[in-house]
């Protein structure tokens, strides 16, 4: 029985000690009003008043004016959407042209096989490769020159 009594005393002591800590926390952090509470209340009242004034303005507005403003905003939205579509189409066309230029540059890679000035290499070894690459370059340049630029005025 003495062991149970000692255990209960230990639990009671721990509870009182921790409850005192909890009480101090509550007093310092929960039940304290900020120093600038009057300013906060004034700001809240001003915000509520501004919102009620805005809603009164819309309640008093002429329905024809509201419809005209809505129509103008819809027109502006439509124009912005069309502008976005045209810009996206122009971007896609430019991306296509960039891809064509990258392919053109890749086709120019055969030039790394051409000997630099002062080195000896027979032209017969380069001739078949050059003909194939030049044929590709000619078709690529025809393609690039015939494609109309979407950004041209």
pLDDT, one tens digit per residue, over 29-82 is 887 777 888 888 899 899 888 877 666 666 677 888 889 999 999 999 999 999
Q: 150 versus 5: which is more confidently predicted? A: 5
**Residue-wise pLDDT tens digits, 71-109:** 999 999 999 999 999 999 999 999 999 998 888 888 777
For residue 121, is pLDDT > 60? no
Quickly state the pLDDT bin for 10 (edges 50, 70, 90). very high
The three-state (H, E, C) secondary structure of 86-97, written as one string: HHHHHHHHHHHH
- Nearest CA-CA partner of 127 in 113, 140, 141, 138: 113
The pLDDT score that the predictor gives to residue 1 is: 78
> The tokens of 146 are what?
């015939």
Structure tokens at 62: 């002429």
């Amino acid at each position: 029985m003495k062991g149970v009594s000692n255990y209960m005393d230990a639990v009671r002591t721990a509870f009182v000690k921790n409850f005192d800590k909890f009480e101090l926390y509550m007093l310092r952090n929960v039940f304290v009003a900020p120093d600038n509470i009057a300013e906060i209340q004034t700001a809240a009242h001003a915000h509520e008043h501004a919102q009620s004034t805005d809603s009164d303005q819309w309640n008093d507005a002429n329905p024809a004016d509201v419809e005209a403003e809505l129509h103008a905003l819809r027109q502006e939205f439509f124009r912005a959407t069309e502008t976005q579509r045209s810009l996206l189409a122009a971007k896609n066309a430019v991306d296509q042209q960039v891809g064509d230029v990258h392919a053109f540059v890749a086709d120019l890679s055969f030039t790394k096989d051409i000997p630099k000035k002062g080195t000896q290499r027979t032209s017969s070894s380069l001739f078949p490769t050059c003909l194939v690459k030049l044929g590709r370059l000619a078709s690529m340049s025809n393609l690039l020159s015939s494609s109309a630029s979407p950004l041209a005025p």
